[in-house]
Amino acid sequence: MGKNRTRNPLSTLIARARRRLQSEDGIILPVTMAVLALTILIAGVAHSQSNDATGAANEDRRVKRAIQAADAGLYTASYQMNLLDVTQQTDKCVGTDANGQLVRTAMAAQATWCSPVGGQLADGASYSYSVSGETCYSGNGAVVSCASVHARRTRTLVSTGMVGDVKRRVASTVEGYTAQPLFPQPWAVFSDQSITLNSNSVVDGNVGSNGNITLANNATVCDTNGSGNTANATPGGNGSVIGAGGVCNGSTARAIVPWNPAPVQANNFGDADNNNETIAPVSTGTNCQNDICWNPTTHRLELKSNSSITLTGSVYSFCYLSLASNSKLVIPAGNQVTIYIEPPERCGALPASERGNVLFNSNASILNQNTSPNTLQFYVLGSTTTATSVTFDSNFQQGSVADPWPFMVYAPLSDVYLKSNVEILGAVVGKTVSMASNSQVRWDPALSDVTTGAVFPLLRQSQYRECSSAAPANQPAGGC
């Protein structure tokens, strides 16, 4: 007979537990549930991050649009101030009348800022800008009375752009010289972009530029009429005085602020605004009489070789002025002549090479029978989109007079070329100025007080910055 064995209950329990743990039956369900829970968690995080990213992107777009709206307010403020010419008026602010038309308004008593002006943009954004009162400075940066003829007028503009509940503020400083005098600095030569003086060319007086001043091979800047021959060569911005030439005892330091030459103010160039009819008794077409070719319709004046013309009027408007070799432009004693060179956009009937240009060929001359350069003034309107030039070619002469030729050239948007052996008593302003061998410009102090209606003090932006989103009470520029 076999033995009857009794199983240990504890061992039985342990064996059953071991078998159950080793079995894979039913494991799929908890694993599936865990994976599903993890997937839901990841999807939730992704959704949350997507919402956050979308919100951030929308917020970024609103911020950028608000800044753009604020910038639009700055540009609008500058445009409206220039349109109404608030720099020379008693009423220094811009507002609207009952019909919504722009008008000049007075600043409130004891106020230092004009009332805010708002505007709506097409994309639903809006802006509101404020303009400060004027602060005026001299050429060396000292605060002066705005009644001074040498004042550089500055104002602060602050504009807030709004898109929904998003606001952003920006500010800029605008400035413009008065038109009295035309040359607020005693510069014999000034250029908006660059000046190049080639071998042996001389500027007898101060030189200024918003860019580089190049003095190549013995070119000099000197003041032979001043105390100690001191003359300054003043570059602007990141410009420098470069080259092997010299500056007599003067400074070559950069300008503190740029000088923005006032643009030439155009008249309507009609017959009532000039003395063009005095050139020749013509009625229609092109007239070439004694080698003086004048077209009263296109305002084109050309002097052929060995010809001469005397300007007996006081104001002339030309689309093109050209003097061939040995021709002569005569200004009678006691007469003061202003010559406007019209912008190329108004001279479409002429070849592109002639529109808005001045050309004095080799050995052409100006015989100014007066001694002051303010008796012959050239104002060249030029263009911001089309290149124009004023050229005085080699051996440009002052008739039979041995002294330099008294006149001034004001062409802030045109390139000015003074080629070999050209001598001018007065001043030259150009977009760029290039002087070749032995050319000379001598400053005449008579130009310091030239006052003219030919220009106006256009306000231009000189500084720009972004402000904090909120301004302190009664401080529009606070946080800027």
Burial (0-12, 13-18, 19+ Cβ within 10 Å), 206: buried
Phi, psi (rounded to 5 degrees) for 390: -125, 120
Question: Which whole number is the average pLDDT over 476-480?
Answer: 89
Residue type, 133: G
**What's the rounded Cα separation, in Å, for the pair 379 and 364?**
20
Q: Say whether both 161 and 292 belong to one domain.
A: no
**What's the rounded Cα separation, in Å, for the pair 173 and 464?**
7
Of 103, 257, 235, 256, residue with least CA distance to 176: 257
Q: Give the pLDDT of residue 39.
A: 79
Q: Give the pLDDT of residue 300.
A: 92
Does the pLDDT at position 398 exceed 70? no
Helix, strand, coil distribution of the chain in percent, nearest 5:
20, 35, 45
> When comparing pLDDT for 414 and 469, which is higher?
414
pTM over 0.85, yes/no: no
Q: Say whether both 387 and 359 belong to one domain.
A: yes
Strands 357-360 and 389-392 turn out to be parallel
Could you write out the DSSP letters of every residue in 399-446? TT--SPEEEEEEEEEEEEEE-TT-EEEEEEEEEEEEE-TT-EEEE-GG
User: Is 230 part of a structural domain of the chain?
Assistant: yes
Does the pLDDT at position 284 exceed 60? no
Q: Say whether both 358 and 405 belong to one domain.
A: yes
Does the pLDDT at position 178 exceed 70? no
Residue type, 26: G
**What's the rounded Cα separation, in Å, for the pair 146 and 134?**
8
Does the pLDDT at position 289 exceed 70? no
Q: Say whether both 392 and 331 belong to one domain.
A: yes
User: Is 52 part of a structural domain of the chain?
Assistant: no
Q: Give the pLDDT of residue 347.
A: 93
User: Is 44 part of a structural domain of the chain?
Assistant: no
Are 319 and 342 spatial neighbours (Cβ–Cβ below 8 Å)? yes
User: Is 27 part of a structural domain of the chain?
Assistant: no
Q: Say whether both 373 and 422 belong to one domain.
A: yes
**Total domain count for the chain?**
2
Q: Say whether both 354 and 399 belong to one domain.
A: yes
Tell me 115's DSSP state: P
Tell me the chain's radius of gyration from C-alpha atoms: 37
Reported as a pLDDT band with limits 50, 70 and 90, residue 356 is very high
Burial (0-12, 13-18, 19+ Cβ within 10 Å), 166: buried
Question: Which whole number is the average pLDDT over 159-184?
Answer: 82
**What's the rounded Cα separation, in Å, for the pair 323 and 395?**
13
Most distant CA pair in the chain, distance: 161
Q: Give the pLDDT of residue 225.
A: 63
Q: Give the pLDDT of residue 282.
A: 45
CA distances 285 to 296, 303, 309, Å, are 7, 17, 19
Helices then strands, each counted (H, E), the chain: 2, 32
User: Is 203 part of a structural domain of the chain?
Assistant: yes
User: Is 37 part of a structural domain of the chain?
Assistant: no
Instruction: State both tokens at 234.
Output: 């003043």
Instruction: State both tokens at 271.
Output: 């017959």
Residue with structure tokens 């504009």? Answer: 159
Residues in the chain: 480
User: Is 473 part of a structural domain of the chain?
Assistant: no
**What's the rounded Cα separation, in Å, for the pair 65 and 59?**
10
**What's the rounded Cα separation, in Å, for the pair 174 and 176?**
7
User: Is 472 part of a structural domain of the chain?
Assistant: no
> When comparing pLDDT for 93 and 87, which is higher?
93
Q: Give the pLDDT of residue 250.
A: 83
Task: Please state which of the ranges 118-132, 151-165, 212-226, 361-375 shows the lowest mean pLDDT.
Answer: 212-226
Does the pLDDT at position 294 exceed 50? yes
Give the dihedral sign, CA 357/359/365/371. positive
CA distances 236 to 174, 241, 254, 260, Å, are 17, 10, 5, 11
Q: Say whether both 377 and 424 belong to one domain.
A: yes
**What's the rounded Cα separation, in Å, for the pair 215 and 435?**
10
Instruction: Of 3-7, 214-218, 287-291, give the range with the top mean pLDDT.
Output: 214-218
Q: Say whether both 128 and 244 belong to one domain.
A: no
Give the domain range for residue 444: 187-449
Q: Say whether both 220 and 347 belong to one domain.
A: yes
Q: Say whether both 174 and 292 belong to one domain.
A: no
Task: Please state which of the ranges 141-150, 277-286, 319-328 shows the lowest mean pLDDT.
Answer: 277-286
**What's the rounded Cα separation, in Å, for the pair 293 and 304?**
8
Task: Please state which of the ranges 26-40, 424-438, 439-453 shows the lowest mean pLDDT.
Answer: 26-40
Q: Say whether both 293 and 373 belong to one domain.
A: yes
Are 435 and 201 spatial neighbours (Cβ–Cβ below 8 Å)? yes
Q: Say whether both 299 and 426 belong to one domain.
A: yes
Are 398 and 421 spatial neighbours (Cβ–Cβ below 8 Å)? no
